[in-house]
Amino acid sequence: MHKDLVSIDDLEPEEIFELLESGLELKKKRALGIVEPVLQGRTVVMIFEKPSLRTRVTFEVGITQLGGQAIYLQGSDIGLGHRESIADIARNLERWVDGIVARASSHQTVVELARWADTPVINGLTDREHPCQALALAMTLREKKCDLRGLKFAFIGDGNNVAHSFMLLSPKAGMDFVIACPEGYEPDKQITEQTKDLAARFGTSFSIVRDPFEAVKDADVVYTDVWVSMGQESEAVEREKAFRSYQVNRELIDSAEREVLISHCLPAHRGQEITDEVLDGPGSIALDEAENRLHIQKAVMARLFA
């Protein structure tokens, strides 16, 4: 396995499937009260430049459950890239800690941390990717559907960091992927090209469409995320207008030919990208996915930090 998890691209398909099995095993052991202290005597530093509920709590709880110790640092505590260069921070941290989890405004920050630190680095969300979220969804689908291969994943909304990680994961996991987004809000071009290549290599489909009903029609999983991500607050009015017809609501879900699973990376802006009725409805797996962040991240940490 690669030293770091900066991007889903760091994982080969067999590594993704191994992590899913390991996450399921760790979840089962936790339910049975079996302790897996693979991080005993180890310390993980968590650097967060942005707010977080799920990522912070699941990493801290996960480190504790694996017997390790977490140190939480806000980016401003250490003047990331201002008081000290990212390279120097990385070269200090590697002398003291066994793992780094970083949530950064810029993807390049996490890339640089991973480049300069011998210590493994896990991406806890950047403006480009959210690999742990994609793995948590994959683990949840593995639980709910047994096999990911052949499933069709429909992402409704912004071609953002979360969409990027799902795009890269889907072909590697054998899933077809479609994103329905308004013009001007497509996923990153380079990730789109990379996904097309992966889809051709693994025999899955990938498409970008405008009509959410077209995307959902033959989907097995419908996913959405906020229309205004952290750092895009100044674009809120414009984005809310552009995404108005991309709400995941009962009408959209009822138009699907099959019974779909619905998820959201959370936090949700209820009444905007998703309605209460759908998010809290019977097909929603959003909280199962949030729960699985804990176990899949333990699987990743057991691989990289132990």
The Cα–Cα gap between 104 and 75 comes to 8
> Which two tokens mark 106?
């810029």
Catalytic annotation, pick one of 65, 133, 247, 297:
133
Least distance (Å) from ligand CP to the CB of residue 55? 3
Q: Which residue has the tokens 């905007």?
A: 272
Buried b / exposed e over 222-251, threshold 16 CB at 10 Å, is bbbbbbbbeeeeeeeeebeebbeebbbeee
Please identify, using beta-carbon distances, which residue of 90 and 294 lies nearer to ligand CP.
294
- According to CB under 6 A, which one of 135, 260, 265, 274 is a site residue for ligand CP? 265
Beta pairing class for 121-123 and 99-103: parallel
Q: Is 266 in the site for ligand CP (CB under 6 A)?
A: yes
* Number of Cα atoms under 13 Å in the Cβ half of residue 230: 18
Least distance (Å) from ligand CP to the CB of residue 33? 27
Please identify, using beta-carbon distances, which residue of 178 and 226 lies nearer to ligand CP.
226
Least distance (Å) from ligand CP to the CB of residue 209? 25
- According to CB under 6 A, which one of 113, 125, 179, 296 is a site residue for ligand CP? 125
The Cα–Cα gap between 201 and 36 comes to 37
Q: Is 53 in the site for ligand CP (CB under 6 A)?
A: yes
Please identify, using beta-carbon distances, which residue of 58 and 170 lies nearer to ligand CP.
58
Stretch that binds ligand CP, among 8-16, 34-42, 46-54, 209-217 (CB under 6 A): 46-54
Note if 181 is an active site residue: no
Length of the chain: 306
Stretch that binds ligand CP, among 10-18, 74-82, 202-210, 261-269 (CB under 6 A): 261-269
CB neighbour list of residue 31: distance below 8 Å, 6 or more residues apart = none
Other Cβ atoms within 10 Å of 33 Cβ, number: 6
Largest CA distance in the chain: 55
* Residues contacting ligand CP: total by CB under 6 A: 9
Chain positions 129 to 188 lying near ligand CP, rule: CB under 6 A, are 133
Note if 265 is an active site residue: yes
Least distance (Å) from ligand CP to the CB of residue 81? 21
Burial of 8 from C-beta contacts in 10 A (0-12 / 13-18 / 19+) = buried
> Which two tokens mark 238?
């414009």
Q: Which residues bind ligand CP (CB under 6 A)?
A: 52-55, 125, 133, 265-267
Residues catalogued as catalytic:
103, 130, 133, 225, 265, 293
